[in-house]
Amino acid sequence: MKKLLLIATGGTIASRHTDTGLSPQIPVSELLAYVPEAKSFCEADCVQPFSLDSTNVHSEHWLKLSMLIEENYEKYDGFVICHGTDTMAYTAAALSYLIRNSRKPVVITGSQRPIDLSITDARSNLLDSLRFASDDRAHDVVIVFGGLAIAGTRAKKERTRSYNAFSSINFPPIAVLHDERVVFYIDDKEKVKGDAVFAHSMNPKVFLYKLIPGSDGSILELIADKYDAVIIESFGVGGIPQYGDDRFHTAVRKWIESGRLVVMSTQVTFEGSDMSAYQVGHVMKNTYRLPESYDMTPEAAIAKSMWILGQTKDKEQFEKLFYTPVNHDLLFEP
């Protein structure tokens, strides 16, 4: 029987109604009491490092979760984190970089409705997560939600209310959970060699700039003293616009010359970027050697940039690490 650590962080799954809306109220020990069936296949200890709506979760909390798991790594066979859905994909991506090469599963779950309601997805998601974390084939960071196990770098919340809130983007689900069974599509634990690698720093000074038609590149000048990197979500496969002048190009050049980093991405959810396809992207990519996210999710690109900048601001080192696959985050080989 596997020994697991259940880590509660708040979120809808642990919320109750208040006069001002849902708020995390349910303690971690009570969460576990809602899934007594789990006792048949695992033993679980409980801990609650914080209790927050996931809107309020950021890099400091990701580091706290990573350090908590590192401190307890040898004591348990796996870890299950209860988390709010709104920023769950960011947390899953961040933990994928903070906890690499893990033969033990780190499972993140939550729900669209609180666990104490008569009709809710919370109990099935929590039970599925404990079951997945107890499977010998499970490893690395995954989100378990709505009957799917999704690689931590590939998850995206695509629905605000439906129980199937998360999709796996540009990559198949790791497994499906159905009728007390875990059916793996990606069964590759044998590829994990050596010890888990924990990182201890992140640089949160990463800005996401989503372009709209007519965007003015001068915004880069306004934020330059607050950020070390910008991820530009462009249109289609990616490119920097020229509206009869070179203001955007000049802003990018000045940003790079100041020692900051620019990463190109796309607003399109599926199939990824390819700046070389069109002149608006090709010229910029080759002039400034701009790294691009290709088939990565925005959440993964942001978290990976924060993780890398926690180690180095060197452009070549950044690019090397950015293009090194972690937990299935990148299929394209530049």
Q: CB-based contacts of 208: which residues, under 8 Å, 6+ apart?
A: 230, 231, 233, 298, 302
- Determine the Cα–Cα distance for residues 154 and 76; give it in Å rounded to an integer: 25
The two three-digit tokens of residue 17, written as one number: 């109604």
Among 9, 12, 120, 153, the active-site one is 12
Tell me which residue of 129, 76, 67 sits closest to 99, measured CA to CA.
67
- Determine the Cα–Cα distance for residues 183 and 177; give it in Å rounded to an integer: 6
Helix 59-72 vs helix 88-98: crossing angle, to nearest 10:
50
- Determine the Cα–Cα distance for residues 270 and 272; give it in Å rounded to an integer: 6
Tell me which residue of 225, 228, 230, 226 sits closest to 310, measured CA to CA.
228
Give 292's DSSP letter. B
- Determine the Cα–Cα distance for residues 241 and 105; give it in Å rounded to an integer: 43
Under DSSP, is residue 183 helix (H, G, I), strand (E, B) or coil? Answer: strand
12 is catalytic: yes
- Determine the Cα–Cα distance for residues 78 and 89; give it in Å rounded to an integer: 19
Q: Active-site positions? A: 12
